[in-house]
A and B are shown apart, each in its own frame.
Chain A
Amino acid sequence: MDNKQIKHIVEAALMSFDEPLNVHHLKQLFDEEAVSGTDINRALEQLNEDYADRGIEIQQLNKGFRLQTRPQMQLWLDNLRQKKPRKLSRALLETLALVAYRQPITRGEIEDVRGVAVSSKIVHYLMDKEWIEEVGFRDAPGKPALLGTTDEFLNYFNLKSLQELPALAEIKDFESFEQSLDFNQPQH
């Protein structure tokens, strides 16, 4: 089977399945042993080159490759769409950020950082969207559930892995700063 044909089949497969496909899946398309992982990867690369000046692109995710529209196209797509996706509230995003960066984390630990109670509505929404899930229980009184993010979270936010999350800001060291201060100067 020549490369061009492999490429066409891989392209059609990416379009026709709902979930991202990995190299293993894509190899299953061909019943012969003749098509190797290298061939699949080459096909994916060539497709990406083909799409360089198109409105779609291939995005690599945690569990495979997904064909998707380019973000630059969204402005125009929105003109035709009846329903815009709802905006995510700050409370929801902060909760999600804590789960993403600090997982596994309990609700109590989220509340410690945010200084306010975590609303059940938000946790339910995040679970409903399958962005977070219970990954276990903390060995502490009350056995609070530990929350973590899912593959669906990575897919939805276009991430290959958690390492791709934007870096957290550095903590400025209070101890070293304190030394540079004279505490006896009158405070205002």
Chain B
Amino acid sequence: MSEPKSPDNMVQSEMPFALVEGQPFTEMPTDLYIPPDALEVILEAFEGPLDLLLYLIKRQNLDILNIPIFSITRQYVQYIELMHQLNFELAAEYLVMAAMLAEIKSRMLLPKPRVEEDEEGDPRAELIRRLQEYERFKQAAEDIDILPRQERDFMPVHIHSESGIAEQQIETVDMRELVLAFQAVMARAELKTSHSVSREVLSVKDRMASVMRHLQSGKTTRFDELFTPAEGKQGALVSFLAILELLKAHALELVQNQAFGPIYLNLATE
């Protein structure tokens, strides 16, 4: 982006007082000299073209409502040219802003028709609106940063406990509970089997059918009601396997109303 020739630039060029990467510098920078290495760091700190523009305006204590568009544009373009020289990957947004500034600048160079005063407002109006809007939220972000923040400024006090607030029904039963309940059944079966009696072979398939029949009546059945102590260990095992098979097939549902309470069986609701 090159400067259009303005009368200022027509005067005989001064001797450059410095050469930076082959570029002659004829004017002392008006602000503190920033070495290119440092500039790289500074430029990274800008959050975008609006932020860079705001910085340029604030640095010179200019009113945001009355930006000298010519000098600001020149400085802005100088900055992005420097970024370019430093092989900075320029975000497209910076170039869009440069184009916008150039457009405003050229529109301001045009003589303003006296008659249609209201037809066209100040060409800077949109830019100023955006700068102001951005400035508000830049400030808001700083305000939020100051708010007391968990971890940084305070810690919630709590003694670690696993429990949440009032869970009233435990819906699912985990396998451990089921095995514990089965153990109780087995223990009871043990008491009954003082001597071994030969009996007919029990089939898991038959038992599955009988459990289903039992539940078909629709009423909820306690887990241990499905076991017949007289059948002994083997019978209990067959019943347990049958229940597990039915659970696997999603034919049954287990319900427990409180931790360590009795487990109930239902037909699966589909």
3 A-B pairs with the lowest CB-CB distances in the bound complex, closest first: A116-B48, A93-B141, A166-B143
Give the residue name and chain of the A residue nearest to B122 (CB). A178
Partner of B158, one of A15, A101, A188: A15
Indicate with 1 or 0, residue by residue over B31-52, a CB within 8 angstroms of chain A CB atoms. Answer: 0000000000000000111110
CB distance from B51 to the nearest CB of A (A): 8
- Given known contacts A115-B97, A159-B147, A171-B136, is B130 in contact with A14 (CB within 8 Å)? no
A69 to B152, CA, bound (A): 11
Contact yes or no, B137 A101, CB < 8 A: yes
14 A–B contacts from the bound complex (CB under 8 Å): A14-B157, A68-B150, A69-B154, A74-B154, A85-B149, A90-B47, A94-B141, A97-B141, A98-B137, A113-B134, A115-B130, A116-B93, A172-B132, A178-B125
Indicate with 1 or 0, residue by residue over A153-185, a CB within 8 angstroms of chain B CB atoms. Answer: 001111100000110110110100110010110
A178 to B164, CA, bound (A): 60
- Given known contacts A115-B48, A115-B93, A115-B130, is B154 in contact with A70 (CB within 8 Å)? yes
Question: Which positions 54-99 of chain A face chain B at CB distance < 8 Å?
Answer: 56, 66-71, 73-74, 77, 84-85, 88, 90-91, 93-94, 96-98
Contact yes or no, B71 A188, CB < 8 A: yes
Binding site for A on B (CB under 8 A): 47-51, 64-66, 68-71, 91, 93, 97, 108, 112, 121-122, 125, 128-130, 132-159, 161, 164-166
Residues from chain B with a CB closer than 8 A to the CB of A5 are: none
- Given known contacts A15-B159, A116-B47, A187-B68, is B152 in contact with A74 (CB within 8 Å)? yes
- Given known contacts A94-B137, A157-B148, A158-B147, is B50 in contact with A115 (CB within 8 Å)? yes
Residues from chain B with a CB closer than 8 A to the CB of A98 are: 137
CB distance from B147 to the nearest CB of A (A): 5
Residues from chain A with a CB closer than 8 A to the CB of B152 are: 74, 84-85
Give the residue name and chain of the A residue nearest to B97 (CB). A115
Partner of A169, one of B112, B130, B136, B154: B136
Interface size on A, residues (CB 8 A): 55
A135 to B185, CA, bound (A): 52
The reply on A34 being an interface residue by CB < 8 A is no
- Given known contacts A98-B137, A183-B112, is B128 in contact with A174 (CB within 8 Å)? yes
A38 to B169, CA, bound (A): 30
The reply on A138 being an interface residue by CB < 8 A is no
Contact yes or no, B133 A171, CB < 8 A: yes
Contact yes or no, A158 B157, CB < 8 A: no
Contact yes or no, B144 A165, CB < 8 A: yes
Q: Is the interface of B mostly helix, strand, loop or mixed?
A: helix
- Given known contacts A96-B141, A172-B65, is B165 in contact with A25 (CB within 8 Å)? yes
The reply on A4 being an interface residue by CB < 8 A is no
- Given known contacts A113-B133, A172-B132, is B50 in contact with A158 (CB within 8 Å)? no
Contact yes or no, B70 A188, CB < 8 A: yes
Give the residue name and chain of the A residue nearest to B140 (CB). A97
Residues from chain B with a CB closer than 8 A to the CB of A69 are: 154-155, 157
Partner of A16, one of B153, B155, B159: B159
A113 to B54, CA, bound (A): 13
Q: A15-B158, A85-B149, A166-B147 are in contact. List 16 more A-B contacts (CB 8 A).
A: A15-B159, A16-B159, A21-B165, A28-B165, A67-B157, A74-B155, A90-B138, A94-B138, A96-B144, A157-B148, A165-B140, A165-B143, A168-B136, A174-B125, A177-B65, A187-B70
A158 to B121, CA, bound (A): 44
CB distance from B49 to the nearest CB of A (A): 5
Contact yes or no, B157 A155, CB < 8 A: no
Contact yes or no, A68 B156, CB < 8 A: yes
Give the residue name and chain of the A residue nearest to B66 (CB). A181
CB distance from A169 to the nearest CB of B (A): 5
A93 to B146, CA, bound (A): 11
Contact yes or no, B134 A158, CB < 8 A: no
Residues from chain A with a CB closer than 8 A to the CB of B150 are: 68, 155-158
Residues from chain A with a CB closer than 8 A to the CB of B133 are: 113, 171
